[in-house]
Amino acid sequence: MFHLIWTAIIGLIVGALAKLIMPGKDPGGIFVTMLIGIAGSFLGTYLGRMIGHYQPDQSAGFIMSLVGAMILLGIYHLIRRSQTT
C-alpha cells in the first residue's frame, strides 16, 4: 500500500517538474500532473531498457522518469498544435 502512495508522490513531483521545464499551456490539474509523472516513469523505464541502461528487474530513476514525462508533454504539445491549425 505504501508503495502506491510513494509512486503517486514521486509521479506528482516528476510531473510538476516536467510542466515547469516544458514551455506552453499544459493539461489538467493535480491528478493529470501525477499521471503524467507516473506514465513518464513507465516510458523512462521502457526507453532505459531499450538502450541497455536498466536490467529487466529495474525501474527508471528520477532523471529518466523526468525525461519520459517531458517526452509525453512534448508529444501532447505537438498533437495540440496540429489540431489548432
Model pTM score? 0.83
For residue 84 the three cell numbers come to 489548432
So where are the chain's domains?
2-84
Check residue 31 and give its pLDDT. Answer: 83
Q: What is the pLDDT of residues 37-85, one digit of tens each?
A: 889 888 988 888 898 888 888 877 888 889 999 999 888 888 888 887 6
In whole angstroms, give the CA distance from residue 85 to residue 25. Answer: 16
Q: What is the pLDDT of residue 85?
A: 65
Q: What average pLDDT does range 17-42 have in this prediction?
A: 84
Q: Quick check: 40 and 22 in contact, CB under 8 A?
A: no
Cα distances from 72 to residues 3, 17, 29, 56, in angstroms, run 24, 13, 16, 22
User: Which has the closest alpha carbon to 64: 52, 77, 75?
Assistant: 52
